[in-house]
């Protein structure tokens, strides 16, 4: 290929992945102890450097696969971070991606063998560089996503119950929702298909399993959507002195 741009600076381009998973009723993040200098041993996002022969998406997927063994997951570009000294090692531009995955037993093992850990988003430790800022931005993006796109397909197993779906929404948005309103709203979208089978782990009565209607899900994911639920107002508690 002819080189037209010889005279311009070239840069290291990092790809950092913010991986969300939903497990045990909590929204979690996949973190890693960094294995190389600088900042070796500190908590970090999954990251790697872009290669010349791969597109951004390909690169992000490769990085994720190398570090966790995971593949075929939903990822989206979040933001580019490019402050001059964000990485003390060398001037590096980082393209942050966020990903949503269903955490199953298999993934849990895979992640562990790679030295990765699932951490609740309520207990994020200090991360290297500007990674905390990235996580913060990803969380806010994920939240505003719930209002415009259906969510869950990427974070829940194929079959799930309405209480599980509700608790996913609650975990993402850090708020309590009214059961009746939630069920009514989510059902009338037509996104869900009720199965004839109950989940019996969480209660004696058992909750019906549902699945997403894949076509509708994809349609809404493309066209957008409107799902807004306000906080369930908790009764005011007066603190008596």
Q: Which residues bind a second copy (CB under 8 A)?
A: 1-5, 8-13, 36-38, 49-56, 77, 79-80, 82-84, 88-93, 95
Q: Which of 41, 157, 206, 224 binds DNA (CB under 7 A)?
A: 206
The reply to whether 144 sits near DNA by the rule CB under 7 A is: no
Q: What gap in Å lies between CA 112 and CA 2, rounded to an integer?
A: 45
Segment near DNA (CB under 7 A); pick from 7-15, 59-67, 120-128, 206-214: 206-214
6 is a contact residue toward DNA (CB under 7 A) = no
The smaller minimum CB distance to a second copy, of residues 60 and 116, is found at: 60
Pick 76 or 147: Cβ nearer DNA? 147
d(CA 29, CA 125): 11
- If the CB atoms of residues 50 and 177 are measured against a second copy, the closer one turns out to be 50
Find the binder of DNA among 170, 183, 195, 221 (CB under 7 A): 183
For a second copy, the closer CB: 130 or 154: 130
Long-range contacts of 71-79 (CB under 8 A, 24+ apart): 73/99, 73/100, 73/101, 73/154, 74/99, 74/100, 74/101, 74/154, 75/17, 75/99, 78/18, 78/134, 78/137, 78/138, 78/141, 79/134, 79/137
- Given DNA, a second copy, none, residue 195, with its beta carbon under 5 to 8 Å by kind, binds none
* CA atoms of 109 and 69, how far apart (whole Å): 10
Q: Which of 29, 116, 128, 162 binds DNA (CB under 7 A)?
A: 162
Residue 161 touches DNA, criterion: CB under 7 A: yes
Residue 24 binds which one of a second copy, DNA, none, with CB within 5 to 8 A depending on kind?
A: none
Dist. CA 7–CA 76, nearest whole Å: 32
- In the complex, least distance from residue 46 CB atom to DNA, rounded to whole angstroms: 33
DSSP string covering 140-176: HHHHHHHHHS--STTTS-SSEEHHHHHHHHHHHHTS-
CA atoms within 13 A on the CB side of 8: 5
- Report the distance separating Cα 135 and Cα 121, nearest Å: 9
Shortest Cβ distance from residue 188 to a second copy (Å)?
20
Provide the phi-psi class of 152: left if phi over 0, else alpha when psi is between -120 and 50, else beta. Answer: left
Closest approach of DNA to the CB of residue 187, in Å: 8
| Positions that interact with DNA (CB under 7 A) | 161-163, 178-181, 183-185, 198, 200, 202-208, 226, 228-233
């Amino acid at each position: 290929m002819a080189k037209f741009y010889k005279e311009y600076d070239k840069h290291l381009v990092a790809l950092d992945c913010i991986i969300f998973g939903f497990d045990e009723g909590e929204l979690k993040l996949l973190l890693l102890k960094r294995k190389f200098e600088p900042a070796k041993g500190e908590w970090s996002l999954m990251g790697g450097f872009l290669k010349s022969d791969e597109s951004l998406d390909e690169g992000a997927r490769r990085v994720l696969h190398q570090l966790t063994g995971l593949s075929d997951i939903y990822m989206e570009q979040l933001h580019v971070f490019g402050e001059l000294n964000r990485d003390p090692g060398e001037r590096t531009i980082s393209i942050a991606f966020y990903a949503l995955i269903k955490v199953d037993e298999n993934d849990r093992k895979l992640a562990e063998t790679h030295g990765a850990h699932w951490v609740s988003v309520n207990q994020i430790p200090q991360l290297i560089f500007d990674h905390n800022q990235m996580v913060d931005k990803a969380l806010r993006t994920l939240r505003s996503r719930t209002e415009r796109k259906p969510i869950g397909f990427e974070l829940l197993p194929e079959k799930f119950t309405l209480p599980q779906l509700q608790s996913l929404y609650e975990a993402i948005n850090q708020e309590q929702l009214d059961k009746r309103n939630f069920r009514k709203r989510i059902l009338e979208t037509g996104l869900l298909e009720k199965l004839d089978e109950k989940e019996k782990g969480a209660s004696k009565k058992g909750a019906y399993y549902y699945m997403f209607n894949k076509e509708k899900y994809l349609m809404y994911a493309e066209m957008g959507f409107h799902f807004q639920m306000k906080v369930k107002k908790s009764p005011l508690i007066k603190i008596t002195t």
